[in-house]
Amino acid sequence: MNQEAARDLDAAWRRVVSTGAFIGGAHVDRFEEQWADYCGRRWAVGVANGTQALELTLRALGIGQGDEVILPANTFVATAEAVALAGATPLFVDVAPETLLVTPAIVEAAVTPRSAAVIVVHLYGQIPDMNGLGQVAGKASLALIEDAAQAHGATWKRRKAGSFGHAGCFSFYPTKNLGAFGDAGAVVTNDGELARRVRSLGDHGRSAASRDLHEHIGTNSRLDALQAAVLSAKLPLLDRWVEARRRALAAYNRLLKGSGVRLVKGEQSAASACHLNVIRTRARDRVRAALEAKRIRTGVHYPVPCHLQDPYRAFYREPLPVAERSASEVLSLPLFPHITTDQIRHVCRNLRQIVDDEVLSHVR
Ligand SMILES: *Cc1c(COP(=O)(O)O)cnc(C)c1O
């Protein structure tokens, strides 16, 4: 992937080095404009990483102590971390069994008088019913925040991930669909005041009027110019990479038909960013070990749901059966834009064999 953009990347790095503006400056401004434009939003604010994109968004919305934030339990821990770091209370909810995403009904049932926001996570690159979620959030006066860290380029009814909520939060961690050469993140929004506050919070709470006046207790969370230049150089290739991921996932689907392996399905109206290729199987750990023995490297996203992670015990309320069961079943198969059809065939052939052997060993 990086080779494809190599010439542009080299030139971009050299330009940053020659200007000497490493934090902020023209490269950051340019990427922010490009990213807002790509997402169909008015503003993008670069921050240091995806976790802080979420945390600073919550803080900029005035959400903290005494407020509840509704979020799915089956997400990367960073979503929950951001809520706790903002001083709010994470209210973990379960997800739909087929999509592993929240639904409007699930969120609606969870709302209490203290609920201030809902974070919708576009897990694996899939976007849930955003109309329904927008209505529920509106009715309950919740801020709607998208954790779009896995969904660069995903659409729902032709609208891009990040364009539905009060704010969309992105990570550009190197393995994401659009990855920097280190940590980076961004918040996109149509709300100019929210954008201004996120920017100020990430820049030591500086006031717009003077660099020496600080209007909030902020933090240091800025996008640096080298990362911005890398992201600008790679952005023109993003749609092509997402298309390649979609084609690869379609090939997996075809080759695994009738194999007894269940694929995680998205919403009808959504076009997934195909960040991860997740299947579900009962004997996940044995299947995973057998694939590893064939030198096929897989991942698990995620083996322990957030509500069962130690530091979040204080926020535990009830069992969340779908999140808990799926945590022991999900397995992420190799997926990257340049994966070849032969590589996909190789994985599927081995996976079918392993699953068949697994079934036989249970019959015996
Ligand atoms: C990667 C990720 C994050 C955190 O992003 P960082 O840049 O690593 O801080 C948050 N939420 C989800 C769903 C992620 O996948």
User: For the residues 277-287, what does the mean pLDDT come to?
Assistant: 93
pLDDT for res 110: 98
pLDDT for res 364: 52
Provide the pairing of β-strand 43-47 with 270-271.
unpaired
Ligand 1 atom at minimum distance from 173 CA? 7
Tell me the C-alpha distance between 240 and 113, whole Å: 45
Nearest Cα residue to atom 6 of ligand 1: 50
- Determine the distance separating the centroid of ligand 1 and the alpha carbon of 173, expressed in angstroms: 7
pLDDT for res 1: 66
Interval 127-157: pLDDT, tens = 999 999 999 999 999 999 999 999 999 999 9
**H helix intervals, the chain:** 6-19, 26-39, 50-60, 77-85, 104-110, 130-139, 192-201, 225-234, 238-255, 284-293, 321-327, 341-363
Interval 240-273: pLDDT, tens = 999 999 999 999 999 999 888 888 877 777 799 9
Interval 302-340: pLDDT, tens = 999 999 999 999 999 999 999 999 999 999 999 999 999
101 lines ligand 1 (CB under 6 A): no
Interval 77-136: pLDDT, tens = 999 999 999 999 999 999 999 999 999 999 999 999 999 999 999 999 999 999 999 999
pTM beyond 0.95: the answer is yes
Residue among 102, 150, 278 whose CB has most ligand 1 atoms within 8 A, to mutate? 150
- Provide the b/e sequence for 58-73 (b: ≥16 CB within 10 Å): bbbbebbeebbbbbbb
- Determine the distance separating the centroid of ligand 1 and the alpha carbon of 82, expressed in angstroms: 10
pLDDT higher than 70, residue 27: yes
332 lines ligand 1 (CB under 6 A): no
171 lines ligand 1 (CB under 6 A): yes
- Determine the distance separating the centroid of ligand 1 and the alpha carbon of 50, expressed in angstroms: 5
pLDDT for res 6: 80
Ligand 1 atom at minimum distance from 121 CA? 13
Instruction: Look at 6 and 341; give whichever has higher pLDDT.
Output: 341
pLDDT for res 288: 97
- Determine the distance separating the centroid of ligand 1 and the alpha carbon of 148, expressed in angstroms: 8
- Determine the distance separating the centroid of ligand 1 and the alpha carbon of 209, expressed in angstroms: 32
